Chain A
Amino acid sequence: MNKLIVSPSPHAHTQENVPRLMYGVIISMLPAFAVSIYFFGMGMIIVTAVSIFSCIAFEYLIQKYMLKVKPTHLDGSAFLTGLLLAFCLPANIPFWMIMIGAIVAIGIGKMTFGGLGNNIFNPALVGRVFLFVSFPAAMTSYPEPGQWLTYMDAVTGATPLGILKEGIGNHTATELVGQAPGYMDLFIGKMMGSAGEVAAIALLLGLGYMLVRRIITWHIPVSILGTVAVFTGFLWLINPQQFADPLFHLLTGGLMLGAIYMATDYVTSPMTKKGMLIYGVLIGILTVIIRILGAYPEGVQFAILIMNAFVPLLNKYFKPRRFGKEVQHG
């Protein structure tokens, strides 16, 4: 008989592993992907394919030829970064810009920090914000939904949040909200916006799937969405002429995508439930402040990146509740 293996306990292990978790997130994004294909057609498919392919390729190339380590490009995490990056780009963005975004996301967002597990900022958001700052025109022209066979030639228009930001001051919030698509359209995703961010209902479905599979917990998405609802609701009650209603805020822009997929990124979010709640509430508050006072119509991406930087601090000060209080000596 062969020699017995002697190893410390436990001798059992869950079926869960990193690729399964990553692909679980990816599966949960399929409904939103399908809705976006329905509204943005070919452009959505091209942007997503280029983004995923570039992220995986750059991860492989950087690890193999620059860092000279064993590439981990197939562990699902580069795939997921690519998918997330595609979801927050306009569906008509030139493919070479996507490749720049991917190299920034993987190279700067992930690898300079030491790869998966060590990065401070969400890589997809790093890529997106880089593109946003470098190519503001391309990053703020969004195709109108319902064009199936277009890519870079798509007819573009303004997002609901863009309309609100431009018009406020000259018009009341009610008038501007009235110019945007109706709530039902906002809910199913028939509006202008980044490729994967529009379909609120499909994104919520994805959230449900991730909660059931215990990939993430409710703390971050619920605290972000709840905070935005309460904060904008409060403003709206004070002055409905000046501020849009909370439902409009929840359903527009990148909020759903951000709250469900960007802020919940394992590596860049807090380690304890308390930390997650505080992180979520602060992201919610920052998002609303940027939307209302900032120069940009949408603020959730910046809010998440800002809070990413505070995660180490949150981990340090918000510990889990330990079992059993200290014994009283003497």
Chain B
Amino acid sequence: MGLLTFSRGGIHPAENKISAGKKIEFAGLPEQVIIPVSQHLGAPSKVLVKKGDEVKTGQVIAESSGFVSTNIHSSVTGKVLKVDAFPDTSGYRKMAVQIQVEGDEWVEGADTGDELITSIEYTSEEIRDKILKAGIVGLGGATFPSHVKLTTPKGKKADHLLINGAECEPYLTADHALMLEKSRELAIGTKILMKGLGVDKAIIGIENNKPDAIRVMEEAVSGDPGISVQALQVKYPQGGEKQLIKAILNREVPSGGLPVDVGVVVFNVGTAYASYNAVQKNRPLIERVVTVTGKSVSNPSNFLVRIGTPASYIIEKAGGLPEDTAKVINGGPMMGKAVSNLDIPIVKGSSGILIIRKEESARDAVKPCIRCTKCVSVCPMGLEPYLLMAQAEKGMYEDLEKDKVMDCIECGSCSYTCPSSRPLLDYIRLGKAEVGKIMRSRKAV
């Protein structure tokens, strides 16, 4: 079997998968959790609890408030301390439920045992409903509600499900660990998603820097003719939906379109695992695997973390914040967000906490563009980052739109690669925001 990859652009940043091979370890229960009610793309959920309420692990504490929204559950047993705005990963204060942890008693019906349940007893509709009720969203970072993705829009038809195990972000190993330890659950989760979507083919894409995961997953799906594993060449951003689809099926999602426009729906491996828990075990999404890593972290780890646990708590578990820390990133080095506050809660979209040392955070001064074309060659979307930056600086929004600024997936390959250290993506983001506004106002007219 040959290795596949996407054809345009891409980079090879240092992999730094320090925590690879570390077993998933339950991080334990913190004293308090802060559970934001908007951890997904779409409408914030409606809070159902108030100060003083007793809640159980897995109990719904905020409910879906529209089609593109989802449920939020308590990740612990305890007492609601406050329903208020708390700072989250974005740096802003957002509505959240703060709970004093008293124990870990699950709601009725949840199966917390390890026994593997293989047969899928539900119809597609029931699967979608269970996934919505369990609050499942894309765990790769996009956090798009999964039941929405399983509902194919009118006039479109999906023929393939792709499971994203590329984990192309340097440093992160959460998906890798999950594939190694939960391969059979993942295989069943994949079948559940296939049924929910109504397709009979699924392909699990894994980069070949994880040969053990490829082997284990191949074994786990060997009984299912509909599911296969595809090894991929290591290249960033292979885990981008559009790049993954191009790599595996050689189909190009149209500009401004969705994967389903080319008959594909993509879920992350974490999402497939969560779907298994939701459908087979009646366990809502209240925990996830989070990598805590960095060059000077004393014990880089893959933790199973309850949603709402403060980042500081798992950083402590990994050996504490090193002296020479300059930045703490929620996510990987390419697309993660730097945070200013370590008490921010782990949410459904948090795949890692990366601690960056002073010496790694230093950047050369920004120098003039020498027109080396490197940013153009690495852009996976076929854009001209140097030009988009210049247009954004000058406020040339019409040209930005014509030159497809909205296609930018914000992968950061351009900024990574620029020998003049130009902040290309920073300006492109500004340009996107402005062009987005203009496009929306045009639609509104």
Contacts and interface: CB of A to CB of B under 8 A. Distances in A.
A8 B429 contact: yes
B420 interface: yes
Contact of B254 (A77, A269, A324): A324
Contacts of B403: 319
B255 A323 contact: yes
Contacts of B190: none
A6 interface: yes
B83 interface: no
Interface stretch (A10-18, A98-106, A130-138, A201-209): A10-18
A9 B360 CA distance: 14
B361 to A, nearest CB: 6
B260 to A, nearest CB: 12
Contacts of A267: 370-371
A169 interface: no
Interface residues of A, number: 44
B336 interface: yes
B356 A11 contact: yes
A324 B328 CA distance: 35
B367 interface: yes
A217 B377 contact: yes
B374 to A, nearest CB: 8
Contact of B417 (A16, A322, A328): A16
A285 B373 CA distance: 24
A327 B261 contact: yes
Nearest to A325: B254
Given A12-B170, A16-B417, A18-B420, A323 B381 contact: yes
B255 A5 contact: no
Contacts of A2: 326
Nearest to B415: A10
Contacts of B413: 10
Interface in B307-356: 321, 325-329, 331, 333-340, 342, 354, 356
Contact of A266 (B335, B361, B370): B370
B252 A11 contact: no
A1 interface: yes
Which of A3, A9, A13, A272 counts the most B-chain CB atoms under 10 A from its CB?
A9
B382 interface: yes
Given A9-B425, A13-B363, A115 B338 contact: no
A11 B255 contact: no
Interface in A235-280: 266-267, 269-273
Contact of B338 (A5, A12, A13, A270): A5
A12 B333 contact: yes
* Interface size class of chain B, counting residues whose CB lies under 8 Å from the partner chain: 35 or more
B303 interface: no
A117 interface: yes
Contacts of A217: 373, 377
A118 interface: yes
A320 interface: yes
A6 B419 contact: no
Interface in A283-313: none
A17 B421 CA distance: 8
Contacts of B215: none
A18 B419 contact: yes
Interface string B366-382: 01111111101101111
Interface string B397-420: 000000110010010110111011
B370 A116 contact: yes
B383 A11 contact: no
A21 interface: yes
B327 A12 contact: no
A117 B386 CA distance: 12
A21 B419 contact: yes
A149 interface: no
B402 to A, nearest CB: 10
A153 interface: no
Contacts of A1: 321, 325
B253 interface: yes
A320 B370 contact: no
Given A1-B321, A116-B370, A271 B384 contact: yes
Contacts of A77: 370
A10 B335 contact: yes
A13 B383 contact: no
A4 B382 contact: no
B113 interface: no
Contacts of B105: none
A273 B377 CA distance: 8
A21 B417 CA distance: 12
Nearest to B374: A16
B13 to A, nearest CB: 5
B412 A9 contact: yes
B248 to A, nearest CB: 15
Contacts of B417: 14, 16
Interface of A: 1-14, 16-18, 20-21, 75, 77, 115-118, 217, 266-267, 269-273, 315, 319-328
10 contacts: A1-B321, A7-B327, A8-B338, A9-B412, A11-B329, A12-B333, A271-B376, A319-B403, A323-B382, A324-B242
Closest 6 CB pairs of A and B: A10-B412, A117-B368, A12-B333, A322-B382, A327-B254, A11-B333
Given A11-B334, A324-B257, 6 more contacts: A7-B327, A9-B336, A10-B415, A21-B372, A320-B376, A321-B382
